[in-house]
Amino acid sequence: MILLADQDSVAALGASLREAGQRVVFTNGVFDILHAGHVTYLEEARALGDVLVVGLNTDASVRRLKGPERPINTEADRACVLAALRAVGHVILFGDDTPIDIITALMPDVLVKGGDYTRDTIVGADVVEARGGVVCTIPLVEGRSTTAIINRARTV
């Protein structure tokens, strides 16, 4: 399922999943030019609970965060590819620079980011932990990077 981020629909999704007894895992990112590192990360995140919800930056937020030449793929294409992965239960598009509103509305049991983050740099860690949830990092897959793929493609 792909949703646009609005507080009511995200809160309803979280409530519905919890009511069904699901352990909700949340992560977020750009996920542009999906590669094996992304897939491994998402599978490991999903293994931490029953359903993985992925917050996906909109095109406008990606441009603000990564510059005018990004994203390579549109938000619709990125959301479609993510939603097709067996590890991903739901994709939520958000246009803010951080996913704090989604995290607050969804109330996940587990908040996950890549190993390039620390507990102190993970947005929403305090919100998740305050309600008894856990915050986890997953090591990055060596040699896998969207930026490296883009740079290789530009030199070919």
What DSSP letter does each residue of 80-119 carry, written as one string?
A: HHHHHSTT-SEEEEE-SSS-HHHHHHH--SEEEEETT--G
Domain ranges of the chain: 2-155
Q: Rounded to whole angstroms, how far apart are CA atoms 125 and 135?
A: 6
Cβ contact 114:106 at 8 Å: no
Cα separations (Å) of 39 from 104, 114, 141?
A: 26, 12, 10
In tens digits, the chain (156 residues) has pLDDT values of 677 778 899 999 999 999 999 999 999 999 998 888 999 999 999 999 999 999 999 999 999 999 999 999 999 999 999 999 999 999 999 999 999 999 999 999 999 999 889 999 999 999 999 999 999 999 987 655 655 555 565 676
Which of the following CATH numbers is that of domain 2-155: 3.40.50.880, 3.20.20.70, 3.80.10.10, 3.40.50.620?
3.40.50.620
136: nearest Cα among 112, 117, 120, 118: 112
pLDDT of residue 103: 97
In one letter, which amino acid is 30?
V
Instruction: Specify the pLDDT at position 110.
Output: 98
pLDDT value at residue 148: 59
Helix, strand, coil: what percent of the chain each, to 5?
45, 20, 35
